[in-house]
Amino acid sequence: MKESRLKIINRDMIKYIIVFFMFMGHLLAWLNIGDTPPDGLFADCLLWQRIFIELSLMTPPVMFFFVADGFHYTRSRKKYAQRLLIFAFITQIPFYMLWYPIYGWWQTNVMFTLFFGLLALCAWESSLKLWQRIALVILCTGATLAIQAEWQLFGVVTIFGLHIFREKPKRRLIWYSSVWGIYILICSIPLFKDGLTGIEIESTLVHIFDFVFAYVLMTVLYNGRKGKHPTFSKWFFYIFYPAHILLAVMIRHIIN
């Protein structure tokens, strides 16, 4: 009974929550980056701005979760994959316009990671031999590395683990904690070399909070239900992602 009372948030409410933090964090980050990479961990930002920027990191794990979740509920996995791929290419246009001055042309957006994560699940649940399924999952993971998609390795690995341990909560938690623990550790290695500052400690703690809170949203508070307007919400989230990147491009040009 206690567990059922905690499950109070439907799918669309969770997506709206993370979209809010993603939009605020991205907007503040883009306004502070300009045309050059950030100096440190946005050390020149105000504290509240820096916190919003870092809270946007709760978005990727939730996006990965809903790919694994959607794999079970979608009416057509083929159409689901097609939508992800189409919007990945659509998103790439404003993404390229925004990030080319910083990273150059060889980088792709997170929608490609979601697409290859879904392909990995389709491969794993296919009727192929075990070694073939493993090879295809590895190939999908490698594809995100080859095209330098956002969250590349961590995205596909998270999606895969949330799927195969769907009915095993303890193993799912261990998988999730291990993947994102490794991510935080990798991000912290350069900081340990140079010596930690107050800002860097704060950033690491907020990152831990991001991934913990994302997991709570996905597993503790999520009731498994759709929102009241599922069709509108579905297309809103597809359209919003490239649209908010295009907005960032427009704002940057206006400021310049």
What confidence score (pLDDT) does residue 33 get? Answer: 62
> CB-based contacts of 54: which residues, under 8 Å, 6+ apart?
25, 203, 206, 207, 210
Q: Are 120 and 160 in contact (CB under 8 A)?
A: yes
List, for the chain, all residue ranges whose pLDDT scores fall below the cut of 50.
1-2, 35-40
Beta carbons within 10 angstroms of residue 57's beta carbon: 20
What confidence score (pLDDT) does residue 42 get? Answer: 61
Query: What is the chain's length?
Result: 256
What confidence score (pLDDT) does residue 37 get? Answer: 46
What confidence score (pLDDT) does residue 39 get? Answer: 46
Burial tier of 194 (Cβ tally within 10 Å: 0-12, 13-18, 19+): exposed
- The reported pTM is 0.90
What confidence score (pLDDT) does residue 240 get? Answer: 94
Pairwise CA distance, residues 125 & 113, whole Å: 19
Q: Point out which residues pair with 252 in neighbouring strands.
A: none
Domain positions in the chain are: 2-255
What confidence score (pLDDT) does residue 4 get? Answer: 65
What confidence score (pLDDT) does residue 133 get? Answer: 96
> CB-based contacts of 4: which residues, under 8 Å, 6+ apart?
none
Angle between helices 198-215 and 47-55 (to 10 degrees): 40
What confidence score (pLDDT) does residue 197 get? Answer: 62
What confidence score (pLDDT) does residue 38 get? Answer: 47
